[in-house]
């Protein structure tokens, strides 16, 4: 009837932000190693944090996945802000992140209607829109390409990479990039003469 609490160590509230970071890092590892069905509690264990703290910081799986993905996205936004990002840069980032976040991506996929996830999608779309406008103006991408072409393609590519064996990822990534480059190249949208 009574729950006996026997905390081994209590580092106090100061541990809060540190724990949050540890949980996000642990989530990356756990979901990368064990796929999206890994027990939620495994994240807490890996982070060296109590179950309760995990739930305090992230009330549900989605909250955690969003936090992880948000870090990825923030890095991308930062990169986009700091210079002239190209489609290849975007693909590079997507491939890199897909390789290390496979479980998280799958997790997010399951919740695509969650408002928190939709918000991330909107932020990603913005990055893409700016990129596309610039590249089209420079004549490096065809005018037939729409932002959704890029977002969907990037998502497909990331998923495919994520589920590919590590030792074949480079080859598959190269193949998909080539396909997409051909599809998005200037002139690709019009019938050949």
Q: Which helix (H) or strand (E) holds 166?
A: none
188 binds a second copy (CB under 8 A): yes
Among residues 26, 185, 156, the alpha carbon closest in space to that of 95 is found at: 156
88 binds a second copy (CB under 8 A): no
Q: Pattern of binders to a second copy over 21-50, x per CB under 8 A?
A: -------------xx-xx------------
Residue keyed to tokens 């975007």: 90
Candidates 14, 82, 137, 167; binder of a second copy (CB under 8 A) is 14
Counting Cα atoms < 13 Å in the Cβ hemisphere of 10 gives 6
Stretch that binds a second copy, among 66-74, 81-89, 105-113, 128-136 (CB under 8 A): 105-113
Tell me how far apart the alpha carbons of residues 133 and 154 are, in angstroms, rounded to a whole number.
17
Nearer to a second copy among residue 84 and residue 178 (C-beta): 178
Where would I find the H helices in the chain? 15-34, 40-47, 51-57, 61-81, 87-100, 102-110, 115-137, 147-162, 169-184
Residues 130-169 that bind a second copy (CB under 8 A): 144, 148-149, 152-153, 155-157, 159-160, 163
Nearer to DNA among residue 16 and residue 189 (C-beta): 16
CB of 87 to a second copy, least distance (A): 13
Nearer to DNA among residue 55 and residue 79 (C-beta): 55
């Amino acid at each position: 009837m009574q729950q006996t609490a026997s905390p081994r160590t209590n580092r106090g509230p100061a541990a809060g932000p540190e724990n949050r970071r540890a949980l996000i890092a642990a989530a990356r590892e756990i979901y990368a190693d064990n796929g999206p069905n890994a027990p939620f509690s495994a994240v807490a264990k890996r982070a060296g944090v109590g179950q309760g703290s995990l739930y305090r910081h992230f009330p549900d799986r989605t909250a955690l996945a969003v936090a992880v993905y948000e870090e990825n996205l923030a890095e991308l936004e930062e990169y986009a802000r700091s210079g002239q990002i190209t489609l290849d840069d975007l693909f590079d980032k997507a491939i890199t992140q897909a390789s290390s976040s496979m479980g998280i991506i799958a997790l997010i996929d399951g919740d695509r209607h969650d408002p928190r996830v939709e918000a991330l999608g909107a932020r990603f779309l913005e990055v893409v829109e700016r990129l596309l406008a610039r590249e089209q103006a420079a004549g490096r991408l065809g005018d037939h390409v729409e932002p959704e072409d890029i977002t969907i393609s990037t998502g497909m590519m990331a998923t495919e990479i994520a589920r590919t064996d590590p030792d074949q990822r480079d080859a598959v990534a190269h193949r998909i990039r080539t396909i997409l480059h051909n599809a998005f190249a200037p002139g690709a949208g019009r019938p050949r003469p």
